[in-house]
Structure 1
Amino acid sequence: ELGCGSGSHAMYLSKEGFQITGIERSPEMVDIARKKNIQGFEPIVGNIEDFSLDKRFDSVISLFHVISYLTTNDALLKCFKQVNRHLKQGGIFLFDTWFTPAVYTQIPDTRIRRLEDDGIEVVRIAESTMDYFNNIVNVNFEVLIKDKQNGRSETIKEVHPMRHFSIGEISFLALHCGFEVILEEEFLSGAKPGKDTWGVCFVLKKIKDHE
């Protein structure tokens, strides 16, 4: 699994009898995953663009928009080529991304979310800017945290660049990297992708080794 995080998906897959190797760039997340002691799951610190393991797999998955964090063509090609090298012939590559028709039909707006309990108040502001030339949405997060006991406040800011894709782009990547697209559908629902479909799941099949 590419971008396995703390092992939440691996936990479910393990219960179904799968053996899972996870690639995650955050050492902190890998530590959390290891402490869960998930049977048949090996989380490894690594980058999904250049990971190298001495084995081949039946399938590779990457869920909840991990591929959308690869915002350059170079990064995408590196990732897809590495996936090809680590898959058995006929193996499956399953992932989901943001979908270009939906992004341009429903331009992302500013969203505010508030949470609180007895100890803290949290306000999360997500404000997006569009990079139309590179098919990227820069999601600017600002998280305001207030301690109710002492009144102290903390602000955390992050920018998440997210690339969105058309079906044609994914088909081109697949063709260039030794795959064929065998399915595209709305993530989790299975519906046909359309202009209201923010997340699309793609299933690729390895048809040849990448040279």
Structure 2
Amino acid sequence: MPENFNSNYSRYYDLLYKNKDYKSEAEYIAKLIRSVHPQTKNILELGAGTGNHAAILCNDGFTVTGLERSAEMVAKAKEKKIEGFTPVVGDIQDYSIDQKFDAVISLFHVISYLTSNTALIDCFNTTNSHLNKGGVFIFDVWYTPAVYVQGSETRIKKMEDDDIEITRLAQPEAHYNLNVIDVNYEIIIQDKKTRLAEQYPEKHPMRHFSIPEINLLALLTGFEVIKTEEFLTAANPGENTWGVCFVLQKK
């Protein structure tokens, strides 16, 4: 979750990411789950946003509980009335749900928002306790070799609908000794009719990971890493692989 989080982010989240290929991503995750844990019926999604991945997974026959820190985003998810999806407010670092799951997933680099070792260990331990025996934990993160080889750059994104225009400037700041990049956003939202605009900053600290780091985290928290691949393509990770998907199984 970004620092200086503004409730406006939940208001405009779906517009900012309306071109994101949720369908391909959810289909990839569904196929991956069925390949490593075919008996999976119920899924817990950490950082579920407004339910865009969950809607596709539910349509594919799964039931999904979505954990999301932002109450505003949970409210938007509930407004969608997605059959088979239960969105709840909670922190992925320390949550308690009176249910165990066959699979826990966390997409769109949500785990990379956990920048401290303590936060990561807490999240992994809590997730382990919410999984059925042999259950799987699937997540994607920024991959350290690609971050160092490719570097990070300033980016501008513009989106609009019938009512508003959004301009988002992203300026990265690397902290090499921490394996963290602060993505500093300036977001400008302009009303098309009045031409009035509001502007606010957001800071997204993002941690990147190596394969040995994830192996160690798994060892410390009762998991075993059973698969590591490029997100979506299933290729072997390399220096050009920014997003890597890990599959951990509860011991």
Is the counterpart of residue 163 in structure 1 residue 207 in structure 2? yes
- Residue of structure 1 equivalent to 2:119: 75
**What is the CA-CA distance between 1:121 and the residue it aligns to?**
4.3
Is the counterpart of residue 138 in structure 1 residue 182 in structure 2? yes
Query: Quick one: which amino acid aligns to residue 110 of structure 1?
Result: T
User: For residues 93-108 of structure 1, what are the structure 2 equivalents within 5 Å?
Assistant: 93-108=137-152
- Choose the corresponding residue for 2:96, options 52, 55, 58: 52
**What is the CA-CA distance between 1:33 and the residue it aligns to?**
1.1
Go from structure 1 to structure 2 and tell me whether the alpha carbon gap of 1:146 and 1:31 turns closer, same or farther (over 3 Å shift): closer
**What is the CA-CA distance between 1:22 and the residue it aligns to?**
1.1
Go from structure 1 to structure 2 and tell me whether the alpha carbon gap of 1:109 and 1:32 turns closer, same or farther (over 3 Å shift): same
Q: Which runs of 4+ in 1 moved over 3 A?
A: 114-122, 145-151
Query: Quick one: which amino acid aligns to residue 23 of structure 1?
Result: L
Q: Deviations over 1:24-69 (max 9, x none)?
A: 1111111111121112211110001111112211110001100000
Matched residue count: 207
User: For residues 142-157 of structure 1, what are the structure 2 equivalents within 5 Å?
Assistant: 142-157=186-201
Separation of aligned partners in 2, 1:28 and 1:204 = 31
Go from structure 1 to structure 2 and tell me whether the alpha carbon gap of 1:81 and 1:188 turns closer, same or farther (over 3 Å shift): same
**What is the CA-CA distance between 1:117 and the residue it aligns to?**
6.1
**What is the CA-CA distance between 1:119 and the residue it aligns to?**
5.5
Go from structure 1 to structure 2 and tell me whether the alpha carbon gap of 1:126 and 1:17 turns closer, same or farther (over 3 Å shift): same
Is the counterpart of residue 188 in structure 1 residue 232 in structure 2? yes
Indicate the structure (1 or 2) with the bigger Cα radius of gyration. Answer: 1
Query: Quick one: which amino acid aligns to residue 158 of structure 1?
Result: E
Q: Deviations over 1:150-192 (max 9, x none)?
A: 4433212111000000000000000110111011111111111
Is the counterpart of residue 11 in structure 1 residue 65 in structure 2? no
Separation of aligned partners in 1, 2:88 and 2:49 = 10
Q: Deviations over 1:117-140 (max 9, x none)?
A: 675543321100001111000001
Separation of aligned partners in 2, 1:9 and 1:148 = 30
Go from structure 1 to structure 2 and tell me whether the alpha carbon gap of 1:22 and 1:145 turns closer, same or farther (over 3 Å shift): closer
**Per the alignment, in what secondary structure is the counterpart of residue 82 of structure 1?**
helix
Query: Quick one: which amino acid aligns to residue 89 of structure 2?
Result: V
- Structure 1, unpaired ranges of 5+: none
Query: Quick one: which amino acid aligns to residue 36 of structure 1?
Result: K
Separation of aligned partners in 1, 2:161 and 2:78 = 29
Separation of aligned partners in 2, 1:113 and 1:156 = 15
**Per the alignment, in what secondary structure is the counterpart of residue 241 of structure 2?**
coil
- Structure 2, unpaired ranges of 5+: 1-44
**Per the alignment, in what secondary structure is the counterpart of residue 128 of structure 2?**
helix
Go from structure 1 to structure 2 and tell me whether the alpha carbon gap of 1:152 and 1:63 turns closer, same or farther (over 3 Å shift): same
Query: Quick one: which amino acid aligns to residue 160 of structure 1?
Result: H
Percent identity, please: 57
Query: Quick one: which amino acid aligns to residue 45 of structure 1?
Result: V
More strand by share: 1
Separation of aligned partners in 2, 1:102 and 1:181 = 20
Go from structure 1 to structure 2 and tell me whether the alpha carbon gap of 1:152 and 1:194 turns closer, same or farther (over 3 Å shift): same
User: For residues 105-116 of structure 1, what are the structure 2 equivalents within 5 Å?
Assistant: 105-116=149-160
Query: Quick one: which amino acid aligns to residue 127 of structure 1?
Result: Q
Separation of aligned partners in 2, 1:123 and 1:20 = 33
**Per the alignment, in what secondary structure is the counterpart of residue 168 of structure 1?**
helix
